[in-house]
C-alpha cells in the first residue's frame, strides 16, 4: 500500500497502490504482456483492511484474513497503473468483520471482493502486540491526512 487517502473509522476507507514496472512479478507474469496477478490485488485488499480495521479500533486489534467469500476480476492491472482501493465495513461483531472491497484503474472496476477477517486483540500474544505497533507506525507514514491524524491524537486525550 502506498497511500491512505482517507478513513472513516468503522465504516470505510480509500487507499492507493502504485503499480510499478519494476515489480519483480512482471518478469514472469507475463514476460511479453505483463499484468498484476489477481492474488496480489487480493493482497492489496488485505493490506488496506489492516489499516481500516486497526485504526477503527485505535490499534488495539488487527484483522487476520479468515476467508475470501467472493472475488471477481473484471479488468487487467498493468505496469504504471494506480490501483484505487475502496473498502466498506459490511458487518462486524466482537470476533469477526466482513469487508467489501473494490479496486479501480482509470475509473474502471478491476476487482471486487468480500473478505471475512478474525479480529485479533493486541494483547493476545507478543506477535499480535508487535503487529498492532507496526500497523500504527505504517499508518503514520503513509497517511495522506497528517492534519486529520493530529486532530485524532488530540481527541484521544480528552
Cell numbers at residue 6, please? 482517507
* 11: phi then psi, degrees, rounded to nearest 5: -125, -60
CA–CA distances in Å: residue 68 to residues 40, 45, 58, 114? 13, 11, 25, 6
Catalytic residue among 29, 86, 131, 157: 29
Verify whether residue 29 is a known catalytic residue: yes
Strand residues in 74-107 grouped as ranges (E):
82-92, 96-105
* Alpha-carbon dihedral 68, 17, 50, 37, rounded to 10 degrees: 30
With the C-alpha atoms ordered 124, 129, 132, 134, is the resulting torsion angle positive or negative? negative
Distance between CA 89 and CA 10 in Å, rounded? 7
Catalytically annotated residues: 29
Amino acid at each position: 500500500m502506498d497511500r491512505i487517502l482517507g478513513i472513516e473509522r468503522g465504516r470505510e476507507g480509500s487507499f492507493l497502490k502504485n503499480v510499478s514496472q519494476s515489480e519483480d512479478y512482471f518478469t514472469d507474469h507475463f514476460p511479453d504482456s505483463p499484468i498484476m496477478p489477481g492474488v496480489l490485488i487480493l493482497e492489496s485488499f488485505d493490506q488496506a483492511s489492516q489499516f481500516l480495521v486497526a485504526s477503527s479500533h485505535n490499534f488495539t486489534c488487527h484483522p487476520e484474513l479468515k476467508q475470501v467469500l467472493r472475488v471477481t476480476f473484471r479488468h487487467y492491472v498493468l505496469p504504471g497503473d494506480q490501483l484505487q482501493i475502496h473498502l466498506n465495513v459490511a458487518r462486524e461483531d466482537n470476533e469477526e468483520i466482513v469487508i467489501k472491497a473494490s479496486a479501480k484503474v482509470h475509473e474502471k472496476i478491476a476487482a471486487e471482493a468480500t473478505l471475512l477477517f478474525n479480529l485479533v486483540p493486541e494483547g493476545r500474544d507478543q506477535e499480535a502486540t508487535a503487529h498492532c505497533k507496526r500497523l500504527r507506525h505504517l499508518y503514520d507514514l503513509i497517511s495522506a491526512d497528517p492534519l486529520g491524524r493530529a486532530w485524532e491524537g488530540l481527541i484521544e486525550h480528552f
